[in-house]
Structure 1
Amino acid sequence: MRIIIIFCLLIITYSADAQVKLLTLHDLDKRLSNGKDTTYVINFWATWCAPCVDELPHFEKLRLANLKKPVQVLLVSLDFKSKLERAVIPFVQKNNIQAEVFLLNEPDQQQYIKRIDEKWSGAIPATLFVNQKVRRFYEQTFTEAELKSKLANLN
């Protein structure tokens, strides 16, 4: 019986760890360039940001509504790397987030801000909609309806 419990705990821990991966901007650029017909909705957020946390369910609903379409929702946490196991993974588990979650692994905040969008002040939440034809960046919170509308009006 103990072995089964330990095994189950290991599986739960592994799946949570696997659910939140470290991501560099190079990794993100590679992912975007490989997704030829895919539209990416990339939300930049943090566990300590109340407006970010409030809008996360909208991104999950957007993901679910587009499961059969070439749309990918990526949630990129801007929490410190040291918070991965103590804050980000437990947050993702507690809130049952099923979208792909990453923790940005970049040492220079100013550099990654400018690479995402020249006009970004660094404030969060922020969202990038990108595909092969369009790249639109928004430094704001979104309602569920606004997210759907922005996605529908990309082309």
Structure 2
Amino acid sequence: MLNVEVKYKAMKHLIITASLILSALVGFTQTIKKVKVTEVEEYVKNSDHPIVLNCWATWCAPCNEEIPYFMESVKKYSEQKVELVLVSLDFAKSYPTKIAGQINKKHFEATFFWLNETNADYFCPKIDPKWDGTLPSTVYINPATGYRKFFGRPMTDRQIDLEVGRLVGLKK
């Protein structure tokens, strides 16, 4: 009888632990919105504040290296309400679990989208006409001033800070 009670308590503990882990993962992955490129276009178009839109992937080392610099600059200019939007170009098998795992592991903070598109000839020019699909790529957009600048390469912390300053009109 004691053995059955021990097994019951162990099973109950396992079920509770698994439920908590699953609900945490499901709760988090809901913050990575699956989108088409037209939804990204609409999001940017309807924004009333400056946006740093960075296209990245979990497997892209330079992408993962520069994201903390974007986060730092966006925080520095928080009074100007700059928003960091990270658009993942990971493969479908990585959505949402692998992407969420990377975001959690690296402590990334942003608005997260996963681009549910496979035709780069279609979606790249919609993000920016100069974009050839290279990762990382970043577009700085300020709807209030009309400022828009594209970078199809990795950026250093100084370059990012300079561009975010230009985005909000505080640097030349």
Q: 1:54 aligns with which of 65, 69, 77?
A: 65
User: Structure 1 unaligned runs (5+)?
Assistant: none
How far did 1:6 drift? 4.5
How far did 1:47 drift? 1.0
Identity of aligned residues (%): 28
Misfit runs of 4+, over 4 Å: none
Q: Which amino acid aligns with 2:20?
A: C
Matched, 1:130 2:157: no
Q: Which amino acid aligns with 2:30?
A: A
1:93 is aligned to 104
Q: Which amino acid aligns with 2:71?
A: E
Describe the SS at the equivalent of 2:153: coil
Describe the SS at the equivalent of 2:96: helix
- Specify whether residues 33 and 103 from structure 1 end up closer, same or farther in structure 2 by C-alpha distance, changes over 3 A only: same
1:71 is aligned to 82
- Specify whether residues 119 and 33 from structure 1 end up closer, same or farther in structure 2 by C-alpha distance, changes over 3 A only: closer
Q: 1:121 aligns with which of 129, 132, 138?
A: 132
Q: Which amino acid aligns with 1:112?
A: F
How far did 1:7 drift? 4.8
- Specify whether residues 135 and 125 from structure 1 end up closer, same or farther in structure 2 by C-alpha distance, changes over 3 A only: same
Which range moves more in the overlay, 13-22 or 44-53? 13-22
Q: 1:12 aligns with which of 2, 7, 24?
A: 24
TM-score with structure 1 setting the length: 0.88
How far did 1:4 drift? 5.2
For these two proteins, the number of residue pairs brought into alignment is 154
2:166 is aligned to 153
User: Structure 2 unaligned runs (5+)?
Assistant: 1-11
Matched, 1:144 2:157: yes
Verify the 8 A CA contact 2:29 2:97 in the aligned structure 1: no
Matched, 1:22 2:71: no
2:7 is aligned to none
Q: Which amino acid aligns with 2:46?
A: N
Mapped partners of 2:81, 2:61: distance in 1 = 30
C-alpha RMSD of matched pairs (Å):
1.9
How far did 1:70 drift? 2.0
Q: Which amino acid aligns with 2:121?
A: Q
Mapped partners of 1:9, 1:152: distance in 2 = 40
Please give the per-residue CA displacement for 1:31-73, whole angstroms capped at 9, x wherever unaligned: 112212x110011111111111111111221232233322100
Q: Which amino acid aligns with 1:9?
A: I
